[in-house]
Amino acid sequence: MVTFLQQVLNGLTLGCIYALVALGYTLVYGILELINFAHGDLVMIGALVSLTLVRTLQGWGTPLPVALAGGLAGAMGVCVLLGIALERLAYRPLRHAPKLAPLITAIGMSMVLEQSSALLWGRGYHSFPDLGLTHSLTLGGVLISPLQGVIVLGSLGLLGGLLWLIQRSALGRAMRATAQNPVAAQLLGIDTERIITLVFVIGAALAAVAGLMVGAYYQVAHYTMGFMLGLKAFTAAVLGGIGNLSGAVLGGILLGLLEALGAGYLGDWTGNLFGSNYKDVFSFATLILVLLFHPSGLLGRHAPEKV
């Protein structure tokens, strides 16, 4: 039982991070019907930038909370700028091109971001500065680190606030209108290009937060870390129903739980033949199964293409 709760907690932590990233995929897909392959790499850049900044600031003797805030702010700034640049320079010129074009551009941009990071930060692993938040408390046998608490509460707060904003505010309404019918939205006087930029900004900012969180959680950052994370977050978005914001959050958390529990117990069930080294297979199998049996996801609506 204790192991179970422990795995649930670990899964929840992971799931919250997936949810933050998944939201970025789903927001962009909801409006542009484009898989932004470079989104996972923004998370990686968020992690590396915040790592570098926190280290530097700490080196100057800045107290940890300030260094952290500085790292987060810097990472968000860099990611948001990159997100905007990505949209402007790569995707916008292809808005009316055949569908293959933006997809190929997306994979190309992902490669560019990854290899540029390899040039800037090298191909090695970077250890994340110790935030002093890993000293765990025990709660009925379950180990909880303050960091886990910060990740879960922080991301849930962020996600809740964002969902509320999009459901309630005028800006959110404009976003939803653009997602549903860009042409009609434009006729109603909505500046759809601005909305699209905004979507990239939100996604990139969330990616930066997620980057700092994964970096701190696993205490390591690396220029290829965005790839698997991105794949999983996309799976989460599909699981929840791509284009659906609450779905992305739900899918992220479910996938995190699935992965933690699956990886935790699979080894026991199979006499350690299939252990946690297969955990990445879980999310992929989930993706295939969802696509096979319920491609519109848990909360998604199946909207047929208009003919």
Ligand X SMILES: Nc1ncnc2c1ncn2[C@@H]1O[C@H](COP(=O)(O)OP(=O)(O)OP(=O)(O)O)[C@@H](O)[C@H]1O
Binding site residues, other proteins, CB under 8 A: 33-35, 37, 90, 93-94, 96-105, 107-112, 114-116, 118-119, 123, 227-228, 231, 234-235, 238, 273, 277-278, 280-281, 284, 287-288, 291-292, 295, 301, 303-305, 307
**Could you tell which of other proteins, ligand X, none binds residue 228, using a CB distance below 5 to 8 A set by kind?**
other proteins
Q: Which is nearer to ligand X, 168 or 301 (CB)?
A: 301
Q: How far is the CB of 115 from other proteins (least distance, A)?
A: 4
The 3-state DSSP class for residue 164 equals helix
Cβ pair 25, 237 in contact under 8 A: yes
d(CA 242, CA 37): 15
| Long-range contacts, 260-267 (Cβ 8 Å, 24+) | 260/7, 260/8, 260/10, 260/11, 260/14, 261/4, 261/7, 261/8, 261/11, 264/3, 264/7, 264/10, 265/7
With binding defined as CB under 6 A, does residue 306 bind ligand X? yes
Report, in Å, the least distance between residue 173 CB and ligand X.
19
The least distance separating ligand X from the CB of residue 95, rounded to whole angstroms, comes to: 21
- Min CB(35)–other proteins separation in Å: 5
Task: Match 């609450």 to its residue by tokens.
Answer: 246
Q: Does 304 bind ligand X (CB under 6 A)?
A: yes
Phi-psi region of 81 (alpha: psi -120 to 50; beta: other; left: phi over 0): alpha
CA pair distance 145, 133, nearest whole angstrom = 7
CB-based closest residue to ligand X:
306
Q: 125 is written with which tokens?
A: 């692993």
Binding piece for ligand X, criterion CB under 6 A, among 74-82, 237-245, 281-289, 299-307: 299-307
**98 interface partner picked from other proteins, ligand X, none, CB below 5 to 8 A per type:** other proteins
Task: Determine how many CB atoms are found less than 10 A away from the CB of residue 162.
Answer: 19
Cβ neighbourhood burial of 138 (10 Å; 0-12, 13-18, 19+)? exposed
How far is CA 69 from its chain centroid? 20
Q: Which is nearer to ligand X, 210 or 242 (CB)?
A: 242
The option from other proteins, ligand X, none interacting with 281 (CB < 5 to 8 A, set by class) reads: other proteins
Size of the site for ligand X (CB under 6 A): 3
CB-wise, 66 or 288, nearer to other proteins?
288
Distance of CA 16 to the CA centre of its chain: 9
* Listed ranges 9-17, 19-27, 37-45, 298-306: which one lies at the site for ligand X (CB under 6 A): 298-306
187 binds ligand X (CB under 6 A): no
101 makes contact, choosing from ligand X, other proteins, none, with CB < 5 to 8 Å by partner type, with other proteins
Task: Determine the Cα–Cα distance for residues 257 and 251; give it in Å rounded to an integer.
Answer: 10
> Are 297 and 247 spatial neighbours (Cβ–Cβ below 8 Å)?
yes
CB of 185 to ligand X, least distance (A): 15
- To ligand X, the closest distance from the beta carbon of 301 in angstroms equals 10
**Nearest C-alpha neighbor of 276 from the set 43, 14, 20, 1:** 14
Q: Which is nearer to ligand X, 109 or 185 (CB)?
A: 185
Site residues (vs ligand X, CB under 6 A): 303-304, 306
